[in-house]
């Protein structure tokens, strides 16, 4: 593996490396195929003739995640665990705080080396630091999420897509190549490992449920591949024309699979390279899944304030501060937003799309978030509410794309200054009439609001 994928290395304090297994601490990349950190862990294990184990640490309290997020994740992990076991890589699930469970496991099984997934989010980085503090073996943190490794793409926070785009495209040929397939591991780990009863595990978790959820996407790497194939065969050709129209189904629907690492964006691009679609449909989609997605990781990695207004660019902070005292025509609290009880039916319908399907269409996500800002007292409160709703109810939530999308909507991150207006200052504004020009708003409202809510 190209060593530029190793984003961080912890040396470990042990003088002599044990001859026990190598472990891959799986976290963001929950798949057995197209997985750089996993194939690198196998490369290390093969070099020294060591068994290879994959360990997942399950915490019940994770950034507002609810029952449907855990269900989606665990069903996918069940499939991934089977695929790994077929390759003689035992899958272990540890429940509780990884800073306690992993060191214990590492000691008990005389683990020699650990490889884990790169993640720009603070919660994951803190967990990795905490684990590293409590163990004495070396750890490599490997970027398996970005096609161009995060620190190779750029060594600093980028201003916008226009500054990162040329850097990414310049490197694409260098990095867009096949990911080594995981082989059947020649050394099987013989010691007893805990069995996993997936159904019992899911039942045992005490989690918040979203009682309004009506449809859930099938989970797992196989479902992710099917979703991609269906998109390429049936929707991609119309992507450029209708991606801002939530009444037409042209988007890929890949974000939950990408978020849980059930498919890699690198595989998506490799498959697209072989397809013969018109250049504009493919390039518009590549702009999202490659440039915008990797820009979000860049923002969260280089800006620790990605989840609060301190992270906004100076021009935006200044302008938002100048408009703090502006009177708001409407003011709502968390509960009004949660149950879609605003005066705006389009907004309410978007919120009900979230509650019923676990997702909001990409175009309406921007409108949804900007209105939360318009109808709350401050950017701080708006950001808190938007993150709580997005992380708590969106199946693809708790993702760098989400924090960056919210910071774009409220704080002009990766955007430019627009004509000054009340409340928003120089932040880009969106309104109902703009949405009406783009799509049939009534059809959308009727899809997600109950009849009694229409009047």
Ligand X SMILES: Cc1cc2nc3c(=O)[nH]c(=O)nc-3n(C[C@H](O)[C@H](O)[C@H](O)COP(=O)(O)OP(=O)(O)OC[C@H]3O[C@@H](n4cnc5c(N)ncnc54)[C@H](O)[C@@H]3O)c2cc1C
Measured CA to CA, the distance from residue 60 to residue 25 in angstroms comes to 17
Q: Which residues pair with 139 in a beta bridge?
A: 10, 114
What's the distance, CA 275 to chain centroid?
A: 26
55, 366, 383, 387: which one binds ligand X (CB under 6 A): 366
Does 298 bind ligand X (CB under 6 A)? Our answer is no
**Which DSSP state fits 262?**
S
Q: Are 255 and 23 in contact (CB under 8 A)?
A: no
From residue 108, how far is each of 21, 101, 118 by CA, in Å?
11, 11, 25
Measured CA to CA, the distance from residue 289 to residue 20 in angstroms comes to 39
Q: Are 18 and 135 in contact (CB under 8 A)?
A: no
402, 411, 412, 425: which one binds ligand X (CB under 6 A): 402
**Which DSSP state fits 87?**
T
25 three-state secondary structure: strand
Does 401 bind ligand X (CB under 6 A)? Our answer is yes
Residue among 91 and 301 whose Cβ is closer to ligand X = 301
Site string for ligand X, 248-267 (x = CB under 6 A): ---xxxxx--xx--------
Residue among 27 and 288 whose Cβ is closer to ligand X = 288
Residue (of 96, 74, 67) closest to 392 by Cα position: 67
| Residue, CB closest to ligand X | 405
365, 385, 393, 435: which one binds ligand X (CB under 6 A): 365
35, 409, 444, 445: which one binds ligand X (CB under 6 A): 409
Task: State the alpha helices, DSSP H only, in 394-428.
Answer: 400-411
Closest distance of CB 25 from ligand X, Å: 23
Q: Among 39-47, 159-167, 213-221, 289-297, which window interacts with ligand X (CB under 6 A)?
A: 289-297
Q: Which residues pair with 37 in a beta bridge?
A: none
Residue among 84 and 121 whose Cβ is closer to ligand X = 121
Closest distance of CB 399 from ligand X, Å: 4
Residue among 90 and 227 whose Cβ is closer to ligand X = 227
Residue 211, H or E segment: none
Q: Among 42-50, 131-139, 376-384, 395-403, which window interacts with ligand X (CB under 6 A)?
A: 395-403
Q: Which residues pair with 142 in a beta bridge?
A: 6, 117
Does 146 bind ligand X (CB under 6 A)? Our answer is no
379, 405, 411, 425: which one binds ligand X (CB under 6 A): 405
Copy the structure tokens of residue 318: 């200044």
6 three-state secondary structure: strand
Closest distance of CB 270 from ligand X, Å: 15
Q: Which positions touch ligand X (CB under 6 A)? A: 243, 251-255, 258-259, 288-289, 292-293, 296, 362, 365-366, 369, 390, 394, 396-397, 399, 401-402, 405-406, 408-409
């Amino acid at each position: 593996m190209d060593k530029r994928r190793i984003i961080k290395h912890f040396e470990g304090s042990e003088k002599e490396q044990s001859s026990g297994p190598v472990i891959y601490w799986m976290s963001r990349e929950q798949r057995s195929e197209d997985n750089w950190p996993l194939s690198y862990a196998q490369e290390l294990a093969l070099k020294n003739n060591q068994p290879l184990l994959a360990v997942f640490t399950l915490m019940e309290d994770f950034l507002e995640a609810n029952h449907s997020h855990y269900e989606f994740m665990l069903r996918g992990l069940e499939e991934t665990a089977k695929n790994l076991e077929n390759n003689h890589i035992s899958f272990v699930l540890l429940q509780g705080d990884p800073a306690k469970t992993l060191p214990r496991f590492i000691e008990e099984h005389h683990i020699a080396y650990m490889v884990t997934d790169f993640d720009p989010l603070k919660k994951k980085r803190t967990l990795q630091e905490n684990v590293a503090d409590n163990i004495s073996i070396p750890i490599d943190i490997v970027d398996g999420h970005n096609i161009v490794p995060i620190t190779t793409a750029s060594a600093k926070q980028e201003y916008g897509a226009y500054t990162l785009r040329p850097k990414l495209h310049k490197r694409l040929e260098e990095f867009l190549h096949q990911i080594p397939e995981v082989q059947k591991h020649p050394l099987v780990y013989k010691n007893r490992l805990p069995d996993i009863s997936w159904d019992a595990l899911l039942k045992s978790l005490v989690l918040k449920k979203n009682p309004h959820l009506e449809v859930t996407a099938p989970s797992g790497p196989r479902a992710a591949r099917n979703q991609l194939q269906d998109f390429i065969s049936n929707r991609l050709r119309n992507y450029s024309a209708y991606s801002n129209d939530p009444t037409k189904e042209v988007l890929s629907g890949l974000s939950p699979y990408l978020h849980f690492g059930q498919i890699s964006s690198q595989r998506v691009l490799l498959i697209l390279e072989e397809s013969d679609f018109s250049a504009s449909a493919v390039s518009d989609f590549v702009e999202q899944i490659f440039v915008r997605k990797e820009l979000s990781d860049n923002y969260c990695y280089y800006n620790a304030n990605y989840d609060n207004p301190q992270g906004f660019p100076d021009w935006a902070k200044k302008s938002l501060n100048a408009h703090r005292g502006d009177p708001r025509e409407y003011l709502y609290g968390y509960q009004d937003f949660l149950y879609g009880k605003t005066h705006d039916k389009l907004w309410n319908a978007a919120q009900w799309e979230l509650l019923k399907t676990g997702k909001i269409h990409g175009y309406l996500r921007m409108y949804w978030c900007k209105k939360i800002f318009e109808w709350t007292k401050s950017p701080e409160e708006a950001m808190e509410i938007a993150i709580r709703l997005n992380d708590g109810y969106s199946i693809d939530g708790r993702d760098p794309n989400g924090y960056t999308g919210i910071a774009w909507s409220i704080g002009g991150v990766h955007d430019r200054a627009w004509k000054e207006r009340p409340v928003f200052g120089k932040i880009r504004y969106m309104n109902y009439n703009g949405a009406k020009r783009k799509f049939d708003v009534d059809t959308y409202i009727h899809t997600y609001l109950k009849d009694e809510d229409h009047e």
